[in-house]
């Protein structure tokens, strides 16, 4: 059904063998953890969000619910339950060889910023921490920090009729690393061909390195802290 790649005890990359052809979106869903899913379900229902009629444990033993955001992306909320597959394996499957220990953000294509804000900002409580673009006079990305934490969701704006490759670039995940230089050297030692991608400082002032899996999904390595002033807007601290 799927394969879990563990990043840390609370974050996983899930790979589903579902692609039928190259035109399909590579993004299955994004997920956020909650500590009280019944209360969250009731709250979302009170705000007019379509939620499941009932909650029950899944095959992994956790309780989760899947809803749609305004752009049609599947958004899962999960509460890790005692005795579930995940909680039974806390502290396990965390090799020192993994390139990153933290997913710091995910990016999804957003067509209507106002509609996305009504869902992520007004209902879920996310807050903008930075916005920028390919040019100083245009906003192509908006970083929306989660209510209780430092991770963020990145709106990917101004994307029209994307090709499969573009979908893989825009709907992406970012793995935090303490040193892009060190990560790039480790990848090269493991046989990853980096000739087409080099470490660079992004428009947000952070070192990054773009990688692509065999299905063209982008996995962005990123140092969490900027080394240069960002373009377009300052970072808003928590």
What is 103-222's CATH topology? 2,3-Dihydroxybiphenyl 1,2-Dioxygenase; domain 1 (3.10.180)
**Does pLDDT of 209 surpass 90?**
yes
Q: What is the mean pLDDT of the chain?
A: 95
Express each pLDDT in 153-190 by its tens digit: 999 999 999 998 899 999 999 999 999 999 999 999 99
The pTM assigned to this predicted structure is: 0.95
The superfamily CATH assigns to domain 3-88 is: 2,3-Dihydroxybiphenyl 1,2-Dioxygenase, domain 1 (3.10.180.10)
| Secondary structure E strands in 139-217 | 141-145, 152-156, 172-176, 200-201, 207-212
- What is the per-residue pLDDT for 96? 95
- What is the per-residue pLDDT for 26? 84
Burial class (CB in 10 A: 0-12, 13-18, 19+), 172: buried
pLDDT category of residue 196 using cuts at 50, 70 and 90: confident
d(Cα 109, Cα 129) in Å, to the nearest integer? 18
Residue 212 phi, psi (nearest 5):
-135, 135
- What is the per-residue pLDDT for 78? 98
pLDDT category of residue 195 using cuts at 50, 70 and 90: confident
Same fold, 3-88 and 103-222: yes
Express each pLDDT in 69-104 by its tens digit: 999 999 999 999 999 999 999 999 999 999 999 999
Express each pLDDT in 7-47 by its tens digit: 999 999 999 987 887 777 889 999 999 999 999 999 999 99
d(Cα 187, Cα 203) in Å, to the nearest integer? 24
Would you kindly state where each structural domain of the chain is located, as residue ranges? 3-88, 103-222
Going by C-alpha positions, the residue among 33, 119, 26, 106 that lies closest to residue 71 is 119
């Amino acid at each position: 059904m799927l394969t879990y790649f563990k990043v840390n005890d609370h974050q996983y990359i899930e790979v589903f063998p579902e692609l039928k052809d190259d035109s399909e979106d590579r993004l299955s869903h994004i997920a956020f953890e909650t500590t009280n899913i019944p209360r969250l379900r009731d709250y979302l229902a009170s705000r007019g969000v379509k939620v499941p009629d009932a909650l029950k444990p899944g095959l992994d033993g956790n309780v989760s619910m899947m809803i749609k955001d305004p752009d049609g992306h599947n958004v899962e909320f999960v509460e890790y339950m005692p005795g579930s597959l995940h909680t039974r394996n806390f502290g396990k499957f965390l090799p020192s060889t993994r390139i990153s220990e933290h997913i710091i953000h995910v990016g999804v294509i957003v067509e209507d910023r106002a509609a996305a804000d009504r869902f992520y900002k007004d209902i879920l409580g996310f807050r903008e921490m930075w916005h920028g673009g390919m040019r100083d006079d245009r906003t192509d990305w908006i970083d929306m920090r989660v209510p209780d934490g430092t991770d963020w969701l990145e709106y990917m704006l101004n994307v029209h009729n994307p090709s499969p490759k573009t979908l893989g670039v825009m709907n992406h995940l970012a793995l935090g690393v303490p040193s892009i230089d060190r990560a790039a050297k480790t990848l090269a030692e493991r046989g990853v061909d980096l000739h087409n991608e080099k470490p660079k400082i992004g428009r947000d002032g952070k070192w990054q390195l773009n990688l692509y899996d065999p299905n063209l999904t982008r996995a962005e390595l990123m140092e969490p802290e900027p080394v240069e002033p960002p373009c377009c807007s300052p970072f808003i601290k928590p």
